[in-house]
């Protein structure tokens, strides 16, 4: 995927933000720039630990198969490091139980395997690899602005060192760069910086489902729930607002997350947490042959953490790709470009996809013989390409959120509504058809595109199931977004 080729010797890039998106951007840039500097305001831990800048790290994270595949390409042996750290390798269709709109889905063996792990572990392993890269330098500080030349190209940043001791002070300094990457997250200052420079900031699309979740960590023992390593109970519009998911991760730990949409937030006190679990559409979290229920699991497992709450789940997309004027020498990535409702577990994988997009754009730039710094037109080209990269995960996340009438902001297009309705039928069919269920899992993990749902064989299978249900109920399908057959 990567090519060892500098755009120009002695060039330098700066990455604002040392989270997963910033780390992967830096690793990619190191193949094209002489030096890459990561400016991060947090004190970075030496172990897989939470830090202030990632408040959702205490919660369950899904590291999708596509993301794991990409990291194995960027860092050969990465999956082996996950294994060595104790992250269980599971067969998603066999070891993970879905309770969908139609009840428990079938469990069956497949070759669709992933590692179950915490976000802290993933970031730690990535950072350890990037720290070992001699072309990447980490500094602790806060970026306060951008530097420009007479042509309004971005030529670096203004920043302030964060001293090791609180009583120490530091002055603002300047750092030159041939390319600045803003990977600073949801609270990116780039729109304000652009406005101060006389540019029009990007328009934003915000979609807020008012979803909140609560998470607790436990010691894991095989006897707690034999036969599965994770389970999910889905919510169902218009009135079944509650959902849950649990996974076994490294360190023999069990993480349980309860979620409620449309402001039906789960409590963070012990009694309320348990009562919320009892109110789910189904508490069953194991195969019919070995019934096991979520409230039993919560009651029997030994907690090792408090109950953490989180409500900052608004989707926000900044449309940099639509700007007609944008300064060269600056690009925006990660949550600073597009952030998703984190409950769908796409964030780490999208960061990996964005690193691939950055590499493709830089490689194309080099292959065309360009070697000028700053790179004329590169920023606008990259943002247009990046927008296409996030289109599918954006549609998947916001499509789920649009099911609820209380969701605010944005509007689905006609094509998106059609796609969502058909995806509903895919999910219903997958409850009884292993082939369709595995295809759904592959699309969910971003391994296959949603267009795979429209293969003639898949369409025929879904249509047969739909017609069977219509005639079985002696009525037309429900006018709801998807029919309920409970």
The residues spanned by each domain of the chain are 12-55+122-205+317-390, 87-116+210-310, 414-472
Output the six-digit token pair for 169.
Answer: 């002070």
Q: Tell me which residue of 375, 373, 372, 328 sits closest to 153, measured CA to CA.
A: 328
Give the model's pLDDT for residue 415: 86
Give the model's pLDDT for residue 206: 97
For residues 296, 299, 305, 306, the Cα torsion angle rounded to the nearest 10 degrees is 110
Q: Tell me which residue of 63, 22, 48, 54 sits closest to 344, measured CA to CA.
A: 63
Q: Hey, which residues does 218 pair with through a beta bridge?
A: 254, 303
Total number of residues shown for the chain = 486
CA-only gyration radius of the chain, Å: 23
Could you say which architecture CATH assigns to the domain 87-116+210-310? 2-Layer Sandwich (3.30)
In order of 67, 69, 123, 416, the CA distances from 446 in angstroms are 8, 11, 20, 17
For 119, residues 6+ apart whose C-beta sits below 8 A from its C-beta are 54, 56, 57, 61, 63, 348
Give the model's pLDDT for residue 481: 32
Give the model's pLDDT for residue 126: 98
In order of 88, 197, 256, 467, the CA distances from 144 in angstroms are 42, 14, 39, 60
Which strand (E) or helix (H) includes residue 95?
helix 92-95
Give the model's pLDDT for residue 6: 54
First to last CA, the chain: 47
Output the six-digit token pair for 239.
Answer: 């009135």
Residue pair 194/395 in contact (Cβ under 8 Å)? The answer is: no
Q: Hey, which residues does 39 pair with through a beta bridge?
A: 16, 139
Q: How far apart are CA 67 and CA 57, in angstroms?
A: 17
At 185, phi and psi to the nearest 5? 95, -165
Going by their DSSP bridges, the two strands 308-310 and 212-219 should be labelled as antiparallel
**CA–centroid distance for 31 within its chain:** 25
Residue pair 49/120 in contact (Cβ under 8 Å)? The answer is: yes
pLDDT along the chain (486 residues), means of 10: 55 96 98 96 94 89 96 98 97 91 87 96 98 97 94 93 73 93 97 96 97 96 87 90 94 96 97 93 53 81 96 96 96 97 92 97 82 76 98 94 94 87 92 95 95 96 92 53 30
Residue pair 15/39 in contact (Cβ under 8 Å)? The answer is: yes
12-55+122-205+317-390 is classed CATH 3.50.50.60 = yes
For 111, residues 6+ apart whose C-beta sits below 8 A from its C-beta are 91
């Amino acid at each position: 995927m990567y090519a060892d080729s500098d755009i120009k010797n002695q060039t330098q890039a700066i990455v604002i933000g040392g989270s997963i998106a910033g780390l992967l951007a830096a690793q990619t840039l190191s193949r094209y720039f002489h030096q890459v500097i990561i400016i991060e305001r947090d004190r970075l831990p030496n172990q897989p630990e939470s830090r202030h800048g990632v408040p959702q790290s205490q919660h369950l994270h899904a590291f999708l198969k596509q993301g794991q595949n990409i990291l194995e390409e960027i860092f050969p042996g990465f999956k082996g490091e996950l294994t060595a750290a104790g992250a269980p390798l599971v067969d998603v269709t066999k070891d993970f139980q879905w309770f969908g709109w139609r009840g428990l889905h079938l469990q069956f063996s497949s070759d669709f395997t992933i590692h179950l792990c915490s976000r802290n572990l993933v970031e730690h392993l990535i950072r350890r690899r990037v720290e070992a890269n001699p072309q990447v330098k980490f500094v602790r500080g806060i970026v306060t602005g951008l530097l420009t030349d007479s042509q309004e190209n971005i030529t670096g940043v203004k920043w302030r060192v964060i001293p090791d001791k609180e009583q120490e002070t530091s002055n603002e300094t300047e750092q030159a760069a041939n390319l600045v990457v803003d990977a600073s997250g949801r609270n990116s200052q780039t729109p304000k910086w652009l406005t101060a420079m006389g540019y029009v900031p990007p328009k934003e699309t915000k979609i807020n489902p008012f979803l909140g979740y609560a998470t607790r960590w436990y010691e894991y023992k095989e006897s707690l729930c034999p036969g599965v390593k994770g389970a999910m109970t889905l919510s169902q519009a218009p009135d079944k607002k509650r959902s849950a998911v649990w996974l076994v991760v490294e360190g023999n730990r069990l993480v349980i997350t309860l979620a409620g949409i449309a402001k039906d937030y789960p409590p963070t006190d012990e009694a309320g947490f348990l009562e919320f679990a009892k109110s789910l559409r189904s508490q069953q979290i194991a195969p019919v042959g070995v019934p096991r229920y979520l409230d039993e699991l919560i009651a029997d497992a030994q907690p090792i953490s408090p109950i953490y709450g989180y409500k900052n789940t608004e989707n926000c997309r900044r449309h940099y790709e639509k700007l007609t004027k944008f300064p060269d020498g600056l690009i925006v990535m990660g949550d600073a470009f597009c952030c998703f409702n984190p409950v769908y577990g796409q964030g780490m994988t999208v960061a990996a996809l964005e690193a691939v997009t950055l590499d493709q754009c830089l490689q194309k730039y080099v292959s065309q013989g360009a070697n000028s710094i700053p790179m004329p037109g590169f920023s606008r080209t990259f943002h247009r390409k990046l927008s296409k990269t996030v289109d599918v995960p954006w549609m998947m996340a916001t499509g789920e959120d649009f099911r609820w009438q209380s969701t605010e902001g944005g509007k689905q297009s006609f094509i998106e509504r059609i796609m969502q309705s058909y995806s509903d039928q895919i999910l219903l069919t997958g409850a009884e058809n292993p082939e369709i269920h595995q295809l759904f899992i592959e699309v969910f993990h971003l391994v296959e595109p949603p267009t795979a749902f429209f293969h003639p064989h898949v369409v025929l299978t879904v249509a047969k199931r739909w017609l069977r249900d219509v005639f079985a109920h002696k009525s037309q399908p429900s006018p709801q977004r998807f029919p309920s057959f409970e």
